[in-house]
Copies of this chain bind each other. A is one copy, B any other.
Amino acid sequence: MKNNHGANLHQLSETLGINENQIIDFSSNINPFGLSPKGLKKLKDNLQLASIYPDPDYIELKASISSYCNCNSENIVLGSGATELISSTIKIISPKDTLLLSPAYSEYENELIKVGSKITKFFYEKENNFQINIDHLISFISSNCFDMIIICNPNNPTGTLISVEDLEKIYLNFKKPIMIDETYIEFTDSSKTSAINLVNKYDKFIVIRGTSKFFSTPGIRLGYSIVSKGEILDSLNIIPNLWNINIFASLMGEAMFKDYDFINMCHNDFNENFNLLFKGLKNFKEFKVYNSNSNFILCEILSSRFDANNLYNYLSKKGIIIRKAQSFDKLNEKFFRVCVLTKENINLLLKEIEGFIREY
């Protein structure tokens, strides 16, 4: 297995002997509402366009993102998933000394190692319920000499959200490139939480977003960055890979960012389901459930009788996949992460966890 990004459903399906689409995947953090109907329709109506090259400038796709994000088209850079953008941004900035808020998605560290960056971690600490003390963080930044700061916001796997005001404070005490991964920002009220406005206001902000999670489209590999005007944007625009978005991803993108019926429906149902999952998990006295500003919830097993491996193994035999979190910095085999799926799946998860606790 070449990666450990959530579940490899293809392999699991073989291992478990369960059909891939019968696996209930609480590990990949994908919105369970499926595809935008307008995105899907545009795709269906245009399958024949496989036989033409994509517009190398992706004008229509960028216009759609621009209107969705309330940003300028000229600030947008497209990538084959957020993963490609994380890689190209780190390569272009090539920081000697990077501050990484941790624990975090493993790709930041992988890419930093490739460019030989020294990595300093500032931790969301368990003792502080994984919240950040911004004054401590700023004082730490000021007493060091970092070239770049990387923040996943809200953070995976802790669900921690840093406010725009605090991000601005960090920038004003740093004034060098800050990369903010907003893969999960659409599970918050992004009009108030997104750093996109800071991109226009300041020089060195890179906001990275993917469509895999909120728009449930990991298959199409479509990510985008909104980048402050200047050297970083210019370098990112020297096309690393001509036509890096395929025509189907482009077509879906053009339509789905404008599909407000779908977007609003996702927002409404999400809040209700989040509460169902959060309260359900809290009811187990064996778990400590951490607050989350995202579509996943980090839990710690307090009981000494079992750990996340036991729970994972039990649930996976029933076709339910959770994310063991011990590969994350400073988390151990007592931690696991689950995301918000449908009401039906959440109720099933809670019921199976109850069964596990009773049996174990």
Binding site for B on A (CB under 8 A): 1-3, 5-6, 8-10, 20, 28, 30, 34-35, 40, 43-44, 47-57, 59, 80-81, 83-84, 87, 212, 216-221, 239, 241-244, 246-249, 252
- In Å, the complex CA distance between A59 and B20 comes to 15
Contacts known (A241-B80, A241-B83); A51 close to B247, Cβ less than 8 A: no
Each complex incorporates copies of this chain amounting to 2
Q: Are B239 and A221 in contact (CB under 8 A)?
A: no
Contact of A28 among B1, B53, B84, B249 (CB under 8 A): B53
Contact of A242 among B20, B56, B83, B217 (CB under 8 A): B83
Q: Are B87 and A241 in contact (CB under 8 A)?
A: yes
Contact of A3 among B35, B43, B242, B247 (CB under 8 A): B242
User: Lowest 3 A-B CB distances belong to which pairs?
Assistant: A219-B247, A10-B55, A50-B219
- In Å, the complex CA distance between A177 and B47 comes to 39
Residues in chain B near residue A2, CB distance under 8 A = 56-57, 239, 242
Contact of A44 among B1, B47, B51, B244 (CB under 8 A): B47
Residues in chain B near residue A81, CB distance under 8 A = 242-243
Residues in chain B near residue A217, CB distance under 8 A = 50-51
Residues in chain B near residue A216, CB distance under 8 A = 50-51
Q: Are A84 and B34 in contact (CB under 8 A)?
A: no
Q: Are A220 and B243 in contact (CB under 8 A)?
A: no
Q: Are A51 and B35 in contact (CB under 8 A)?
A: yes
Residues in chain B near residue A52, CB distance under 8 A = 9, 20, 218-219
Q: Are B246 and A57 in contact (CB under 8 A)?
A: no
Q: What's the nearest-Cβ distance from chain B to residue A113, in Å?
A: 12
Residues in chain B near residue A220, CB distance under 8 A = 50, 246-248
Pull 6 A–B residue pairs with CB atoms less than 8 Å apart, ordered by A. A28-B53, A43-B47, A49-B219, A51-B216, A221-B243, A246-B248
Contact of A40 among B8, B47, B55 (CB under 8 A): B47
Contacts known (A5-B242, A244-B80); A10 close to B47, Cβ less than 8 A: no
Residues in chain B near residue A57, CB distance under 8 A = 2, 10
Q: Are A8 and B56 in contact (CB under 8 A)?
A: yes
Residue of A30, A80, A81, A83 with most chain B CB atoms under a 10 A cut-off: A80
Q: What's the nearest-Cβ distance from chain B to residue A24, in Å?
A: 13
Residues in chain B near residue A219, CB distance under 8 A = 49-54, 246-248
Residues in chain B near residue A252, CB distance under 8 A = 50
